[in-house]
């Protein structure tokens, strides 16, 4: 069994980063994220990035001061922001001579056998060409009823799709908890067994999703391999890449 100390040896890694970790006051963290991913790629690992941020990046260009609440404006912001987000990643990876490719998915794509096969074939070909796929939800066509809801869930599905050895979730929540962090009953969880988190709401987080949920609903086989207090700084990825047992990220074997 791979432990966190050996997680840096993973041959295929999916890393998820949320909007709150790379936009607004934390926008300065994007270069650090790219540096860490590039190091992993240069070491020979396949790397897939699942990145939120399109709506957050696009909203200011629509003269919006807050995140839009209605679906149409969210889709408009995503249409503008996705292009800008990809351009930013492209410019930052370019200094490492690494090319990125955009992959936009919906729930329907992963539930439809033909679409799922095509998505996998595309990602596998990108990885084979040494390109880092950057995956996000296709907000412009998704509806409230069929949305992934958050990219933690999307990342779990992508990890299962591509047969990743390791799923890393960068988060603005400092740890995995038994209950929502604001709940007095909440206790920090350092490690957990496969299938050990099965109750909805049983593992706290800002977005309410958890490993047990994914395994039950999407058959994503998740095993948490390590957690310690920290923050959403993408530089914490270096802790895993170097085999360090500390780091402010959630790591899962899939």
Provide the domain count of the chain: 1
- CATH of residue 159's domain is 3.40.1160.10
Give the domain extent around 145.
4-253
The region that residue 97 occupies, defined by phi over 0 for left and psi between -120 and 50 for alpha, beta otherwise, is left
Q: Find the range with the poorest average confidence among 45-54, 85-94, 105-114, 182-191.
A: 182-191
- Read off the pLDDT of residues 95-118 as tens digits, 9 standing for 90 and up: 999 999 999 998 888 888 999 999
More confident residue, 133 or 167: 133
pLDDT band at residue 4, thresholds of 50, 70 and 90? low
Model pLDDT, residue 198? 42
Q: CA torsion 243→46→131→240, rounded to 10°?
A: -20
Model pLDDT, residue 119? 96
pLDDT band at residue 134, thresholds of 50, 70 and 90? very high
Model pLDDT, residue 169? 81
Model pLDDT, residue 27? 80
Which residues, in sequence order, are bridge partners of residue 223? Answer: 253
Q: Find the range with the poorest average confidence among 80-89, 167-176, 185-194, 223-232.
A: 223-232
- Read off the pLDDT of residues 184-203 as tens digits, 9 standing for 90 and up: 888 877 666 555 544 444 44
> Strands 132-137 and 46-51: what pairing?
parallel
How many angstroms separate the CA atoms of 68 and 225, rounded?
Answer: 36
> Torsions phi, psi of 213, nearest 5?
-60, -50
């Amino acid at each position: 069994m791979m432990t966190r100390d050996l997680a840096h040896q993973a041959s295929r890694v999916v890393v998820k980063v949320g909007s709150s970790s790379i936009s607004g006051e934390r926008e300065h963290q994007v270069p650090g994220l790219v540096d860490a991913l590039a190091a992993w790629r240069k070491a020979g690992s396949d790397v897939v990035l699942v990145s939120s941020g399109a709506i957050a990046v696009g909203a200011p260009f629509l003269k919006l001061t807050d995140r839009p609440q209605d679906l149409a404006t969210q889709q408009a912001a995503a249409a503008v922001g996705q292009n800008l987000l990809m351009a930013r990643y492209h410019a930052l990876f370019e200094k490492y001579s690494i090319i990125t490719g955009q992959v936009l998915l919906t729930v329907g794509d992963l539930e439809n056998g033909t679409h799922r096969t095509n998505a996998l074939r595309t990602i596998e070909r990108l990885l084979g060409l040494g390109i880092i796929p950057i995956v996000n939800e296709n907000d412009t066509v998704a509806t409230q009823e069929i949305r992934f809801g958050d990219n933690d869930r999307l990342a779990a599905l992508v990890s299962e799709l591509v047969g990743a050895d390791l799923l890393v979730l960068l988060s603005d929540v400092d740890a995995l908890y038994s209950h929502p962090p604001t709940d007095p009953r909440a206790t920090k969880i350092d490690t957990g067994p496969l299938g050990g988190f099965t109750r909805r709401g049983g593992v706290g987080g800002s977005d309410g999703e958890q490993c047990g949920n994914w395994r039950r609903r999407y058959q994503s086989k998740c095993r948490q391999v390590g957690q310690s207090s920290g923050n959403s700084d993408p530089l914490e990825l270096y802790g895993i890449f170097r085999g360090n047992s500390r780091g402010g990220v959630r790591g899962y074997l899939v």
